Amino acid sequence: MSKRIHISTMCDMLMKPDPVDLVVLTKHGRIMEMNNCIGLTFDKYKGTRRIKMLSSGECRTIRDILVMSINGCEVMI
């Protein structure tokens, strides 16, 4: 059984400068794995967050509610 964490704990983890691994549902319904990423900024009102993948330097905007797991831990709402 996998470990589960609350979405507020996930937000706290993304505020720290430590790299994390994420599994996110995209707007097209696909599951995307992002390895070795850090959180840059977040918008509390929109519920979005800017993520930077350290391996490629690519930046993406994701919704907090669509994060399925972080570092192998399932995210609960």
Q: Rounded CA gap, 34 and 20, in Å?
A: 8
Residue-wise pLDDT tens digits, 32-56:
999 999 999 999 899 899 999 999 9
- Tell me if the pTM is above 0.85: no
Q: Rounded CA gap, 19 and 48, in Å?
A: 18
CA distances (Å), origin 19, targets 16, 38, 55: 8, 5, 11
In this prediction, residue 75 carries a pLDDT of 93
